[in-house]
Homo-oligomer: A and B are copies of this chain.
Amino acid sequence: MQPAKISIINITSYIGTELARLLYRHPRVQIISVTGRSEMGKNLSEVLPHLSEIDLPIEAEPKEADLVFSSLPHKASAEALLPLIERGIRIVDLSADFRLKKAESYQRWYDFTHPAPEFLKKAVYGLTEFHRPQIAHSSLVANPGCYPVSALLALAPAVKERLIHPDIIVDSKSGISGAGRTLSLGTHYSEVNENVSAYALEGHRHLPEILQELKALSPDFSPSLTFLPHLVPMTRGILSSCYAQLVEGKIASSQKGIAKLRQIYRDFYRGEPFVRIVEAPPQTKQTWGSNLCLIYPTIDLRTNRLIVISCLDNLVKGGAGQAIQNMNLMLGFPETMGLEALAIYP
């Protein structure tokens, strides 16, 4: 059988290189072209030596393919993808450009006028665990942001089962690769090493995405959600700590309640290959390089408060791995294909 042909737009981003790393070992696809403005004309092996087995030139435009990944920044991605969308080519967009359903959200949160609002409704939000059937039949999948994957998977069972009040705090800690490969003082080694900081206190762009999907899960639930991201000195990993008050009468604030809570979470994710409800608080390192999201729900018995900890690798389940999971569905491959590697530890 012929492998499916894949093109990657903007290979030189961290998400782009991670797509290439994972796809290189996928038994049913072949990367046929990669693009990257800044390094155009060079060979992939010169620019990204760890990918030198993939012998391809970096080009200006993606070749015609069965599926195209874009890891361009927002706005640039929509612009680059529009002609491909119009030709009906299957796309997984790793930018934010097709995640939000309302065009005005782009004005408000991303400060640009969306060039193709007509496709926002058509695009499917690519969190596989939420929208598996639609993804399988879509030709335009908007891969979720790294923080939203960690927050949504942690909160979904509690929201869906209406276990919690709408006052929710999501306090996320991310490795620095989430900030991408673009140079800035905020990602300069000596500034970031031995340092923790909170950022985007006025509102992070991933917030509308989290709200949109929580509301979709439980339409008459109106979350009042504070999402605060933090940078911690490591390359990969997101740990989100989620807090919300338990609704009276659903789950007891007791050891038995905790057991019931875990069972609800396990039931919710039964059969999911990449979500695991764990018995002890997880660590980001347990997901390093893998497509797993580890989730630990518990109750603060003193305050009757739900706490959920979730961990994932921001470049895999929070990025390229999630995108390949979607690709597998879109191309009819087993969902886990190419994503079976265990985490690298330590």
Which residues from chain A sit less than 8 Å from chain B, CB to CB?
14, 17, 21, 24-25, 48-53, 167, 169, 171, 173, 175-177, 181, 183-185, 187-199, 201-203, 207, 224-226, 228, 230, 232-237, 239, 241, 243, 245, 276, 278, 280-290, 294, 296, 298, 300-303, 305, 307, 309, 311, 340-346
Majority DSSP secondary structure for residues of A touching B: mixed
Kindly name the residue among A52, A189, A233, A241 whose own CB sees the greatest number of chain B CB atoms within 10 A: A189
Which residue of the partner chain B has the closest CB to A276?
B52
Q: From known contacts A171-B171, A233-B232, A233-B233, infer whether A283 and B197 are also in contact, taking CB-CB under 8 Å.
A: yes
Nearest 4 interchain pairs by C-beta: A195-B285, A190-B346, A197-B283, A183-B183
The minimal Cβ–Cβ distance linking A342 to chain B, given in whole angstroms, is 5
In the complex with contacts A187-B188, A188-B189, A235-B25 CB distance below 8 A: no
The copy count of this chain in the complex is 4
Please state if B183 and A185 are interface contacts (CB–CB under 8 Å). yes
What distance in Å separates the Cβ of A40 from its nearest Cβ neighbour in chain B? 17
Q: CB distance B241 to A171 under 8 Å?
A: yes
A sample of 19 cross-chain residue pairs with beta-carbon separation below 8 angstroms, ordered by A number, consists of: A21-B342, A25-B341, A25-B342, A173-B196, A175-B190, A176-B190, A188-B188, A193-B346, A194-B346, A195-B237, A196-B239, A201-B298, A201-B300, A202-B301, A224-B302, A224-B305, A232-B232, A232-B233, A288-B344
Q: Provided the pairs A197-B239, A233-B232 are in contact, do residues A50 and B183 lie with their beta carbons within 8 angstroms?
A: no
Nearest B residue (CB) for A20:
B342
Q: List chain B residues, Cβ under 8 A from A181.
A: 185, 188, 190
Instruction: Say whether B194 contacts A342, CB under 8 Å.
Output: no
Q: A175 contacts which chain B residues (CB < 8 A)?
A: 190, 194
- Rounded to whole angstroms, the CA-CA distance of A300 and B288 in the bound complex is 32
A239 and B284 CA atoms in complex are apart in Å by 19
- A53 and chain B: residue at smallest CB distance: B342
Chain B residues positioned under 8 Å from A234 (CB to CB) = 193-196, 232-233
